[in-house]
Copies of this chain bind each other. A is one copy, B any other.
Amino acid sequence: MKSLVLWLCILCPVFGWTQDEDAEMLRKIHETTLSVGKSYDWLRELCVNYPGRLAGSEADLGASLYTLDVLNTLGLDTAYRQECQALYWKRGKVEQVFQVMKDGGLKPLNAVSLGRGGSTREQGITAEVIEVKSLDELSSLPGEKVAGKIVFFNRPMDPSFVNTFRAYGGAVDQRVYGPSRAQKKGAVAALVRSMTLRKDDNPHTGVTVFDENQPKIPAMALSTNDADMLSSSLSKGAVYVFINTNCTDEEAKPTYNVIGEIRGSEFPNEIILVGGHLDSWDIGQGAHDDGSGCVQSMEVLNILQKMAYVPKRTIRCVLFANEENGLAGGLQYAKISNEKGEFHLAALESDAGGFTPKGFSFEGDTSVFKTYYKQINQWSDFFNTYGLQFDMGGSGADISPLKSQKGLLIGLRPDSQKYFDYHHTKIDTIDAVHDRELKLGAAAMTSLVYFIDNYGLQPNP
């Protein structure tokens, strides 16, 4: 079974840059990862023993110690934790949303508070609901229409995009900025349709952002089924909803980046980073988001060690702290790295789920990628054989503060179809991750690390 892409190479010698040993290396990486990889076992431990790893929580701290223990079994040159401080927002014990029915009865709606959202305090609030489809629609409303109301943001993610992240990007402004905008217009609370393409009963949390010193209002996500139901009720007349939630903002707490590395044998000062983030939202196990990225990054080191590969450059795994609601880990890591005068030749983040990998996305908004793309293109045929494509696009939030070091920033791009079925919900659990799909992601990452390590990055001729 000869791939057409390889045929193309044969027919087109200028790009027909093949080396048997590279192909053999990729074959061995995949074979080793699928046969003796440990990432799924690690992920199960992480999910079952340390679920809901909100930065600074007990689970988060336990997870940092557990993953450090695992890294210490891999025979690395060094493994340690790096402390940073994260703001600590805490979900309360009460999270209630009820539609008040015509007869005075209360119909429960599936809802969760958004991260960093406000509280109703003890008594709860009841108010009339107004539905909007966008921030612009809210802006266009006269203030008196909004004052004292609950604003319900209900624009669905667009199912017609193949890439679900694009659909997410087109809807998530409602969750991130909606509650703050609603408060500024006098609303007493905000409800947001969950960020998913599925119709189901699982509400999806995620961060919402208020301005510094802005008073916070309660902000909750509704399941898509209940959002549709509420919208349907609103089409028939006035609807009142009762909300009771008691989230709190607490003092900053310590949290940790977990770091392990194999020092480079020839160019130890050229660092190739692989990473994910260890924290997760509090309501699930954080299996896809982003336990998967963490164990895949650990697996890269594991597989290289299992294959007795001696890297020329330093290969470093970083499990970042506090991606979900602050980015304290990524910022602290880049700060310390810059202070030490380090140089990250490349940084590769896995933070889009543990699904079958489809390729890599190279950050194209700096000149870095454009400087090297001819060489990287030459590698792509090897990856195509494994169904992996190279594209330009984003990389990852945690590695974005490294941009100033002018290394290559890369994101692993798994199949995106199911990601938002689980994202930020209570069903993002170990059962939702497939052993082989997860490991194939780790094998893809290891393969790219191998090419960058072995050839370095050479500017276009």
Contact = CB atoms under 8 A, between A and B. Distances in A.
Interface of A: 1-5, 7-8, 12, 14-15, 30-31, 34-35, 159-162, 164, 197, 356, 358-359, 361, 364, 373, 376-377, 380, 384, 386-387, 389-393, 415, 417-418, 434, 436-437, 440
A15 B7 CA distance: 12
Nearest to A361: B1
A7 B374 CA distance: 10
A127 to B, nearest CB: 35
A159 B34 contact: yes
Nearest to A31: B160
A365 to B, nearest CB: 11
Contacts of A162: 30, 34, 386, 440
Given A417-B437, A417-B440, A387 B386 contact: no
A393 B1 contact: yes
A397 B376 CA distance: 39
B356 A415 contact: yes
Interface of A is mostly: mixed
A389 B380 contact: no
A391 B160 contact: no
Contacts of A392: 1-4
A358 B387 contact: yes
Contacts of A164: 436
Contact of A8 (B15, B160, B415): B15
A362 to B, nearest CB: 8
A143 to B, nearest CB: 36
A8 B377 contact: yes
24 contacts: A1-B364, A1-B391, A1-B393, A2-B364, A3-B390, A3-B391, A4-B389, A4-B390, A7-B373, A30-B162, A34-B159, A34-B162, A35-B160, A159-B436, A162-B440, A164-B436, A356-B356, A356-B415, A356-B417, A359-B387, A387-B387, A387-B389, A415-B415, A418-B437
A364 B162 CA distance: 30
Contacts of A14: 12
